[in-house]
Amino acid sequence: MGNSKLPDIIESFSDARKQGFINMKNLKDSGKKVAGTFCTYTPVELFMAAGMCYVGLCSTSDETIPDAEAVLPRNLCPLIKSSYGFAITDKCPYMYFSDIVVGETTCDGKKKMYELLSEIKNVHVMQLPNSQKDASSQDLWYHEILALKDRLEKDFDVIITEDDIKLVIHQRNEERKLLRKFYELSASIPPPMTGLAQLSVLFGSQFKFSHEDKMADIQAAIDKYQSAHASGIRNVPETSKRIIITGCPMGGVTEKIVKIIEEVGGVVVAFENCTGAKQMDVLVDENAEPYRAIADRYLAIGCSVMTPDENRYELLKRLCKQFQADAIIEMTLQACHTYNIETHQVRRQAEKMKVPFFSVETDYSTSDVAQLKTRIAAFIETLES
């Protein structure tokens, strides 16, 4: 980057992200290598064991979508278009700084976008199986984990020892446990923080690049909300309807959903999606063979790209109970076939649980805020009676 002008986009980042950019530049200048990731299935322990930093590349703004649409079809997931757009315009510093980009064959759109991305970046695509419980899928994923290990060792001239991997498995488990402790604060009635505040910490934690910094920041957030709540400060009215968010990844412009919910009498108490519980819910078994343990834990993540997707329904059910949800609100992105089709099944599951359910489909623009507000407000009005 050197003396080149910072892109305007940096001003729209939250503080954590802006600071993350600066930290990133410093880290690179000090010789650290960076892995860019796109998915909760990515086994980040491998990057940690290789002494690398890792950062999520899922873009959250529509700024570069017009650039992406010169090559990608318009009728495509906005996250895919946006991320690709940021890559080809050099507007995302994390994409720019990534020495390797690791993707998975999660959905059709991502699969094909990675082909184009590999023309301009060093891309490694992992073959994510379509199902989770059968032995051949589990073996496939195990071998893909080993293949990634080999790739990192080769590209970055490192050796990942058994001690290295065991240490970082433990560290990442500690991070998960602490993030869980943080978001579980909202199980109380009323929750000590708004969904927006929770999302800001969950989303922002991705951009802290040292284990120690991450742990310290999350602990500081826990302390802050616990002590405020204990001293009687109430950030959320008792009457707010408790909402669990599910569906596609949320962050940046799609925060509009959380903002709207919290403007019309709701409060988001938990996120089942990528930004939340999905990532933290399960730990890697520290007593099993490390690569097998990593493979098994990651493959078990519930997501609509899996068929069948029972683990997602199971997590949703558990979260509804734990957080005493009044309702589930799902956000799907336009052209996301797996989530959009799965809505029907989630609705059935919600009916079984007797939890009211509502789904909205949106994109990365801000032009549908009024329409979303009418729908979400009307849904919350049905909870009032």
Partner 1 sequence: MKKYTIGIDSGSVMCKAALLQDGQLRLTKTCKTSWQPQKTALELAESILETQHIAKKECCIVSTGYGRERIDFADKTLTEITAHALGGMSLEPKIQGVIDIGGQDSKVIKLANHKVDTFLMNDKCAAGTGKFLEMSCATLDIPVTSIDSFLTTKEFAAINSMCAVFAESELIGLLSSGIEREKILNGVIRSIASRIVNMLGKVNAGKGDVFLMTGGLSQSQVMVNALNEVTGCKVLTHRASPFAGAIGAAISGNR
Interface ranges with partner 1 (CB under 8 A): 368, 370-371, 374-375, 377-378, 381-382, 385
Quick one: 6 or 378, whose CB is closer to partner 1? 378
Quick one: 307 or 366, whose CB is closer to partner 1? 366
Shortest distance in whole angstroms from residue 328 CB to partner 1: 14
**CA separation for the pair 234, 218 (Å, rounded):** 20
Quick one: 239 or 385, whose CB is closer to partner 1? 385
Quick one: 263 or 314, whose CB is closer to partner 1? 263
Shortest distance in whole angstroms from residue 315 CB to partner 1: 25
Quick one: 135 or 370, whose CB is closer to partner 1? 370
Shortest distance in whole angstroms from residue 373 CB to partner 1: 8
Quick one: 217 or 368, whose CB is closer to partner 1? 368
Shortest distance in whole angstroms from residue 371 CB to partner 1: 5
Shortest distance in whole angstroms from residue 20 CB to partner 1: 36
Shortest distance in whole angstroms from residue 13 CB to partner 1: 29
Quick one: 134 or 351, whose CB is closer to partner 1? 351
Shortest distance in whole angstroms from residue 380 CB to partner 1: 9
